[in-house]
Structure 1
Amino acid sequence: MRMHNPPHPGELLAELWLEPLRLTITDTAAALDVSRKTVSEIVNGRAGVTPEMAVRLELAFGKSAESWLAHQAAYDLWQVDQYRSELRVRSLQPAT
């Protein structure tokens, strides 16, 4: 069963690491060796966590890359569930 309205990984990044550690977007971007825009888009929910970013976050904050990707997958699946009934997909079955 999927989590009800899981948070975007960027929200977790901001609430669990950036705010408590008093890190700015600029400081975080420099530590991750990515652009400020990249971190800003993730923190503000406009971009997702890619596998490469998940590894960067693991190296910086210690939370596993798999965990970051699991949060992203949960968020993405919940978003799709919101319009699942509108998807026009035909069921395909193996020949018998």
Structure 2
Amino acid sequence: MNMMMHNPPHPGEILREYINGLNKTVTEVAAALESSRKHLSLILNGHTGISTKMARKLSVAFSTTPEFWLNLQKNYELWQARQKVDVSKICYFLDIGS
């Protein structure tokens, strides 16, 4: 059964909400995260995901946890895979340990 029936947001959408509350530019936030503006923009626009390193930085910057950011990323990627990956021809191995 598919437990996630809705399309979870890309983590960049959540990050954008955090940044919007700061009264800072993307360039300023990128510098504070020791990241490039280009890389942060790619995340914010949903063109790249959040890595473990970025999750760690974001957790410190926004008083969250790395797991928070990585779970957002995981949920987004799993939902995308469920929509796009055809598993109809994948073999099912039953009782593989027997």
RMSD of Structure 2 on Structure 1 (CA): 1.4
Counterpart amino acid of residue 44 in structure 2: V
Q: Judging changes above 3 Å, is the alpha-carbon distance between structure 1 residues 92 and 43 closer, same or farther for their aligned structure 2 residues?
A: same
Q: Is the 8 A contact 1:10 1:44 kept in 2?
A: yes
**2:6 matched residue in structure 1:** 4
The alignment's TM-score, normalised by the length of structure 2, stands at 0.88
Q: Deviations over 1:32-90 (max 9, x none)?
A: 00111110000000000011100000111111100100000000011011124x23422
* Alignment pair present for 1:51 and 2:52: yes
For normalisation by structure 1, the TM-score amounts to 0.89
Please tell me whether residue 72 in structure 1 is matched to residue 76 in structure 2. no
Q: Percent identity?
A: 44
Unaligned 5+ segments in structure 2 are none
Q: Any stretches of 5+ residues in structure 1 without a counterpart?
A: none
Which of 48-57 and 17-26 deviates more?
Answer: 17-26
Report the secondary structure of 1:21's partner residue. Answer: coil
Moved over 6 A (4+): none
TM-aligned CA distance change 1:21 to 1:3, over 3 Å: farther
Match of 1:62 in 2: 63
